[in-house]
Amino acid sequence: MLLALGSGLLIASRFSDSFESGSIEQLIFIVVATLVLTYIFIKVSLFFFNKLKNRWLLEYRWEFIAVFIVFAITGSTAGRISSPVMEFIGLDYESISGWLYWPLRIILIFPLYQILLLIVAWIFGQYKFFYSFEKKMLSRMGLGFLFKSKTE
């Protein structure tokens, strides 16, 4: 709620430059625009939250929060770790072209992200959810053979 309110205020204050600075019109515009934007942000967030609730089949709200935290930590960590790993294998930004560096870094981030996702998910108690999530995602990418059981 506070994040939506803060975002609404930030956006509204950016668009209030057409009014005289410090005027009552500017203040009214900022207050009204902040409230409208906050309402829109909350409605959109709840809409997507309900869609994910039906899709992910999680029972409790804390599980949703844990899933969002796992995605946030994993994405940030994979992005941070990829640069030192690239330097370790001798592919830093100064030694090769940017046209080659960035595709290689993205290709490197992909497996790092998959491994980190399961590690962070395990820490947050969401391993089962993320393991099935990864199986489904990798199967759709044509990498489902990685998860075939030996009994089949």
What's the token pair of residue 77?
Answer: 């960590």
pLDDT digits (tens, 9 = 90+) for 112-139: 899 999 999 999 999 999 998 888 888 8
Q: Burial level of 126, CB count in 10 A (0-12/13-18/19+)? A: buried
Tokens 């046209």 map to which residue? 99
CA angle 4/51/144 to nearest 5° reads 120
Please determine, for residue 152, whether its predicted confidence score (pLDDT) is greater than 50: no
Q: What is the mean pLDDT of the chain?
A: 87
In the chain, the percentage of residues whose pLDDT exceeds 90 is 33
Please determine, for residue 57, whether its predicted confidence score (pLDDT) is greater than 60: yes
pLDDT (0 to 100) of residue 98: 82
pLDDT digits (tens, 9 = 90+) for 13-33: 888 887 788 888 888 999 999
Please determine, for residue 151, whether its predicted confidence score (pLDDT) is greater than 60: no
CB-CB contact of 66 with 125 (8 Å): yes
Query: What are the extents of the domains in the chain?
Result: 2-53, 58-147
